Amino acid sequence: MPTVTQLRQQLVLLLGDGMPTCGNSECPIPREKLDVRALVVHHKDGKGDEDRRRFTDDGTIASVHYGWSKAARKYYQHYLDHPDEAKRKLQNLCVYCEKMEAVKAREKQKAFRHHQKGKSSKSP
């Protein structure tokens, strides 16, 4: 039986059509320098937490992030068994691009909250 790490690496290669590739077309890291260990499986729609809950017994998400968990095994195996769904929903991102996605999302949330705060303080 493959380990969770091996399943994750198989999914990364599936998403990269057999190569360790970053799904960000503007990735600053040269393709030949990418290593499968430095790639993460990223949900294109930003709903990764919601999706990962499907594979846990108790509806939590944290357990999926740990390689030893039963949920992580189910998660990776599901997408390996359903490659069309995997390619539709998921992409690889190198750790740099994945971090930048998180930074951009936080900045967007902060700007939205600031905008909402400004709207509520204005009198009609």
* pLDDT tens-place string over residues 37-86: 999 999 998 888 888 888 877 766 655 555 457 788 889 999 999 999 99
Is residue 95 within 8 A of residue 29, CB to CB? The reply is no
Is 112 within the bounds of a domain?
no
Residue 117 falls within a domain, yes or no?
A: no
Structural domain contains residue 31: yes
Is 54 inside any structural domain? yes
Mean pLDDT confidence for 14-30: 93
Q: Could you give the number of structural domains in the chain?
A: 1
Q: How confident is the model at residue 102 (pLDDT cuts 50, 70, 90)?
A: confident
User: Is 123 among the domain residues?
Assistant: no
Query: What's residue 67's pLDDT?
Result: 47
- Whole-number Å distance between alpha carbons of 68 and 75: 12
In a domain, 55, yes or no: yes
Range of the domain at 79: 4-95
Q: What's the pLDDT at 47?
A: 85
10 falls within a domain: yes
Asked if the structure places residue 102 within a domain, the reply is no
